[in-house]
Amino acid sequence: MIFCVFQLNVKKQYVFGAIAFIWIVFPALETTFAAATTDIIHGTCMRFAVYETYAMKKTTGFFTVFVSYLLPLLVMIFCYARIIRALRAKVILSS
C-alpha cells in the first residue's frame, strides 16, 4: 500500500492550487505587513515599527506567528500522523 495524496479522491488541480496559494499568498501577506508598517526612525529603516494602536500591533504579531509558524507546524503534525498511521497499517498487514 503506497500512501499518496492522490489516493484520497482529491483532484490534482486542487492540490496544485493549494500549493500555489501557499507559495503566492503568504509571501504577499508578509510583504504587505512589512511594507505597510516600515518607517525610517533616526536614519534606520525599522520594519513593523508603525502601528496606530497597541491592539493592531498584537493582532499583526499573532497573525504573523500563526501563518509563519503555527499553521505549518499543524500541517506537518497532521502529515506525520498520517504517515505513521499508514506505516503501522503496512506493518500490521505484512506481519
Using alpha carbons, select from 67, 86, 76 the residue that is nearest to residue 8: 86
CB count within 10 Å of CB 35 equals: 9
24-69: pLDDT as tens digits:
887 787 777 767 777 778 888 876 677 777 888 788 778 878 877 8
φ, ψ at 53 (rounded to 5°): -135, 160
- For cell 501563518, the residue is 67
Instruction: Give the whole-angstrom CA distance, residue 19 versus residue 49.
Output: 31
pTM above 0.75, yes or no: no
Q: At what angle do helices 54-65 and 12-36 cross, to 10 degrees?
A: 150
Instruction: Give the whole-angstrom CA distance, residue 73 versus residue 66.
Output: 9
1-13: pLDDT as tens digits:
444 554 556 677 7
